[in-house]
A and B are shown apart, each in its own frame.
Chain A
Amino acid sequence: MAKKRSVITGIGVVSSVGIGKEQFWTSILKGVSGINKISLFKPFDRDYKFAGEIRGVDFASFLGEKGLKRLDRSTKFLLIASKLAMADAQIYPGQKDDASTGVVVGTDWGNIESNCHFHNLVLTKGPNEVNPMDFPSTITNSAASQISMRYGLTGLNTTISRGFVSAVDSLGYAKNAIQNYGLKRVLSGAVENLSIEFYSVFHKRKWLRKTRNILDKSESGVVLGEGACVLVLEDIKSALRRNINIFAEVAGYGFSFGDNPASLKKSISLALDDAGLSPQDIDYISANANGHKRKDSEEAKAIAEIFGGNKQFPIISTIKPYIGECFGATGAMQAAACCLSLSKGLIPPVFLSKTKNKGKVSRSPSFKGIKKKISIAMINSFSLDGNNACLILKRPD
Chain B
Amino acid sequence: MREKRRVVITGLGVVSPIGNGKERFWDALVRGENGVKKIRSFDTRLYKTHYGGEVKDFKPEKYIRNIKVPSYCRSTQLAMVASRLAVEDSGMGKVLEEKAERERCGVIVGSTTQDPKLGERYVLIWAKRGYENTPVQLTKTLNWFTVGLANSIARELNISGLSMSIPAACAAGNYTIGYAFDLIKAGRLDTVLAGGTDPMNQLVYAGFNRLMAMAPQKCQPFDRNRKGLIVSEGAGVLVLEELEHARRRKAGIYAEVISYGLGCDAYHSTGLHPEGLGIINAVKMALGRAGLNITDIDYINAHGTGTPLNDRIETKVIKKIFGSRAKKIPISSIKSMIGHTMGAASAIEAVACSLIIRYGIIPATINYVTPDPECDLDYVPNRPRKQKVSIVLSNSFGFGGNIGVLVIGRFNG
Q: Which A positions have Cβ atoms within 8 angstroms of B?
A: 44-45, 98-99, 102-103, 108-109, 111-112, 115-116, 118-120, 122-124, 126-128, 130-132, 135-136, 138-142, 144-146, 148-149, 151-163, 166, 169, 173, 176, 180-182, 196-197, 199-201, 203-206, 255-258, 263, 266, 270, 385-387
Q: Among the listed A116, A141, A176, A385, which residue makes an inter-chain contact with B182, where contact means beta carbons less than 8 Å apart?
A: A176
Given A142-B399, A162-B164: A173 and B264 interface contact (C-beta under 8 Å): no
Q: A116-B119, A145-B264 are in contact. List 15 more A-B contacts (CB 8 A).
A: A103-B264, A108-B147, A109-B146, A115-B114, A116-B123, A120-B127, A126-B46, A148-B266, A152-B266, A159-B166, A160-B164, A197-B126, A255-B162, A257-B159, A257-B160
Q: Which residues of A contact B270 (CB under 8 A)?
A: 135-136
Q: How far is the CB of B198 from chain A (nearest CB, A)?
A: 11
Q: Among the listed A111, A142, A161, which residue makes an inter-chain contact with B269, where contact means beta carbons less than 8 Å apart?
A: A142
Q: How far is the CB of B316 from chain A (nearest CB, A)?
A: 18
Q: Among the listed A130, A146, A149, A151, which residue makes an inter-chain contact with B210, where contact means beta carbons less than 8 Å apart?
A: A130
Q: Which residues of A contact B168 (CB under 8 A)?
A: 141, 158-159
Q: How far is the CB of A177 from chain B (nearest CB, A)?
A: 8
Q: Among the listed A99, A115, A116, A204, which residue makes an inter-chain contact with B135, where contact means beta carbons less than 8 Å apart?
A: A204
In the complex, the answer to whether B399 meets A141 with C-beta atoms within 8 Å is yes
CA distance A63 to B311 in the complex (A): 35
Q: Which residues of A contact B144 (CB under 8 A)?
A: 201
CA distance A111 to B131 in the complex (A): 18
Best-buried of B130, B131, B264 by chain A (most CB within 10 Å): B264
Is B223's CB within 8 Å of the partner chain A? no
Best-buried of A144, A153, A255 by chain B (most CB within 10 Å): A255
CA distance A138 to B116 in the complex (A): 10
Encoded as 1 (CB less than 8 Å from any A CB) or 0, chain B from 385 to 399 comes to 000000000000011
Q: Which residues of A contact B148 (CB under 8 A)?
A: 163
Is B384's CB within 8 Å of the partner chain A? no
Of the listed stretches B31-39, B241-249, B277-285, chain A binds: B277-285
CA distance A201 to B281 in the complex (A): 41
Best-buried of A119, A136, A258 by chain B (most CB within 10 Å): A119
Is B315's CB within 8 Å of the partner chain A? no
Q: Which residues of B contact A153 (CB under 8 A)?
A: 264, 266
In the complex, the answer to whether A140 meets B202 with C-beta atoms within 8 Å is no
Q: Which residues of B contact A141 (CB under 8 A)?
A: 167-169, 398-400, 402
In the complex, the answer to whether A119 meets B399 with C-beta atoms within 8 Å is no
Encoded as 1 (CB less than 8 Å from any A CB) or 0, chain B from 253 to 278 comes to 00000000011111111100000011
Given A120-B127, A138-B207, A196-B131: A266 and B103 interface contact (C-beta under 8 Å): yes
Q: Which B positions have Cβ atoms within 8 angstroms of A?
A: 46-47, 103, 106-107, 111-114, 116, 119-120, 122-124, 126-127, 130-132, 134-136, 138-140, 143-148, 151, 154-155, 159-169, 175, 179, 182-183, 186, 188, 202-203, 205-212, 262-270, 277-278, 281, 285, 288-289, 398-402
Best-buried of B123, B146, B209, B289 by chain A (most CB within 10 Å): B146
Q: Among the listed B127, B147, B163, B212, which residue makes an inter-chain contact with A123, where contact means beta carbons less than 8 Å apart?
A: B127
Q: Among the listed B134, B166, B399, which residue makes an inter-chain contact with A158, where contact means beta carbons less than 8 Å apart?
A: B166
Given A154-B281, A200-B134: A132 and B210 interface contact (C-beta under 8 Å): yes
In the complex, the answer to whether B160 meets A138 with C-beta atoms within 8 Å is no
Best-buried of B132, B136, B160, B203 by chain A (most CB within 10 Å): B203
Q: Can you report 26 A-B residue pairs in the complex whose CB atoms are below 8 A from each other? A: A45-B132, A108-B165, A119-B116, A120-B126, A120-B127, A122-B203, A123-B124, A123-B202, A132-B212, A139-B113, A139-B169, A139-B399, A141-B168, A141-B400, A142-B400, A148-B266, A154-B266, A154-B277, A161-B164, A162-B147, A176-B186, A181-B262, A181-B289, A204-B134, A204-B138, A205-B140
Q: Which residues of B contact A108 (CB under 8 A)?
A: 145-147, 165
Best-buried of A116, A135, A258 by chain B (most CB within 10 Å): A135
Q: Among the listed A122, A156, A201, A256, which residue makes an inter-chain contact with B160, where contact means beta carbons less than 8 Å apart?
A: A256
Residue of A at shortest CB range from B119?
A: A119
CA distance A173 to B166 in the complex (A): 11
Residue of A at shortest CB range from B183?
A: A176
CA distance A153 to B144 in the complex (A): 31
In the complex, the answer to whether B163 meets A386 with C-beta atoms within 8 Å is yes
Residue of B at shortest CB range from A206?
A: B136
Q: How far is the CB of B398 from chain A (nearest CB, A)?
A: 7
In the complex, the answer to whether A160 meets B140 with C-beta atoms within 8 Å is no
Best-buried of B123, B134, B159 by chain A (most CB within 10 Å): B123
In the complex, the answer to whether A123 meets B114 with C-beta atoms within 8 Å is no
Residue of B at shortest CB range from A152?
A: B266
Q: How far is the CB of B195 from chain A (nearest CB, A)?
A: 15
CA distance A109 to B143 in the complex (A): 12
Given A115-B119, A119-B123, A158-B262: A130 and B206 interface contact (C-beta under 8 Å): yes
In the complex, the answer to whether A145 meets B400 with C-beta atoms within 8 Å is yes
Q: Which residues of B contact A156 (CB under 8 A)?
A: 262-264
Q: Which residues of B contact A144 (CB under 8 A)?
A: 400
Given A139-B113, A258-B160: A127 and B126 interface contact (C-beta under 8 Å): no
In the complex, the answer to whether B264 meets A155 with C-beta atoms within 8 Å is yes
Given A109-B145, A123-B123, A257-B154: A157 and B206 interface contact (C-beta under 8 Å): no
CA distance A30 to B162 in the complex (A): 37
Given A109-B146, A205-B140: A257 and B46 interface contact (C-beta under 8 Å): no
Q: Which residues of B contact A149 (CB under 8 A)?
A: 266-269, 400-401
